[in-house]
Amino acid sequence: MKKTLIALAALASTAAIAQSTVTLYGKANVGLRKESGTSTTMRGGADGSDSRFGLRGTEDLGGGLKANFVFESGLNPATGESDAVMFQRSAWAGLSGGFGELRLGRQYTVGFNTSIGYMPSTYTSAQIRSGLGFNGVGSRTDAQIRYISPNFGGVQAHIATQLKGNAENALTEFAVTYGNGPVKAALYTSKTKNTDGNNVALNGSYDFGSFMVAAGYVDKAGDNTGKGAWIHLGSTFGAFSPYIQFAKNNDNDQDTIEVGSRYALSKRTAAYFHVSNNSDAPKKSLLAIGLDHNF
């Protein structure tokens, strides 16, 4: 595995020098995590944001048309272990141009992409992880066909689906997003084949400059799985970025409150901590501290 990573890094470096089209990127995130009833552990991504490395590239085909690709793999700095399946985080190729962008392969879901930007800690609160997280769907799907429209004054459409031959319970997603100035919003819906009902979600935020307010509502398809709302308040004081957020899942009658902060050591490196409490969960409280470096 180590030899493979070294070879990939060398390939990325050579390609970047020769063509300026391939980039090696990633995240190294490790910290300490304590949950009620358990001993403290060192974990990769103590805040829930996993460490990873990847290759992404673009080739200009002329006439405004470009070929793009991403291959991304996860790893755990606490143990040195990598994902059992290499590039299981992302593995796709596609084309982009004046028509928008088309991607084919394993990708983040539209539900993930249109929810993750509204709060810094989507993963950590059990309340948000279960039912409300990622607009009620998983974080990735295999063999995904995705289309992203051009940006029309801040408005974009996102459509994704899977072929029945690749996924018996294929997920089909649609979202409309808006981002212009301090306002961001996303209206999302999806349908999983062989599951009754649709997932529906609405997320929005307003950036006042010194602080940001975000809120969302999720109604997950199926009985007693995830229906509720959340609100997030975040601010910036110099290098500190503190926040507080609250979520309520009406289906399981659980409330979660979480507070935390990041401290920027540089543009790419930050220390973080957060503590959360769930009103009725097997592990009610959680405390995590860690270090996050992006490259």
Q: From first to last of the 295 residues of the chain, give the pLDDT tens digit.
A: 555 555 555 555 444 444 558 999 999 999 999 988 899 999 998 888 889 999 999 999 999 999 999 999 999 999 999 988 899 999 999 999 999 999 999 999 999 999 887 765 555 554 455 567 788 888 899 999 999 999 999 999 999 999 989 999 999 999 999 999 999 999 999 999 988 889 999 999 999 998 999 999 999 887 667 888 889 999 999 999 999 988 888 887 788 888 999 999 999 999 999 898 888 766 678 899 999 999 9
Record the pTM.
0.86
Closest CA to 234 of 261, 252, 254: 261
Within 10 angstroms of residue 112's Cβ, the number of other Cβ atoms is: 20
Radius of gyration of the chain (CA): 20
* 254-264 and 81-82 strand pairing: unpaired
Distance in angstroms (rounded) separating the CA atoms of residues 94 and 147: 10
Closest CA to 117 of 232, 266, 277: 232
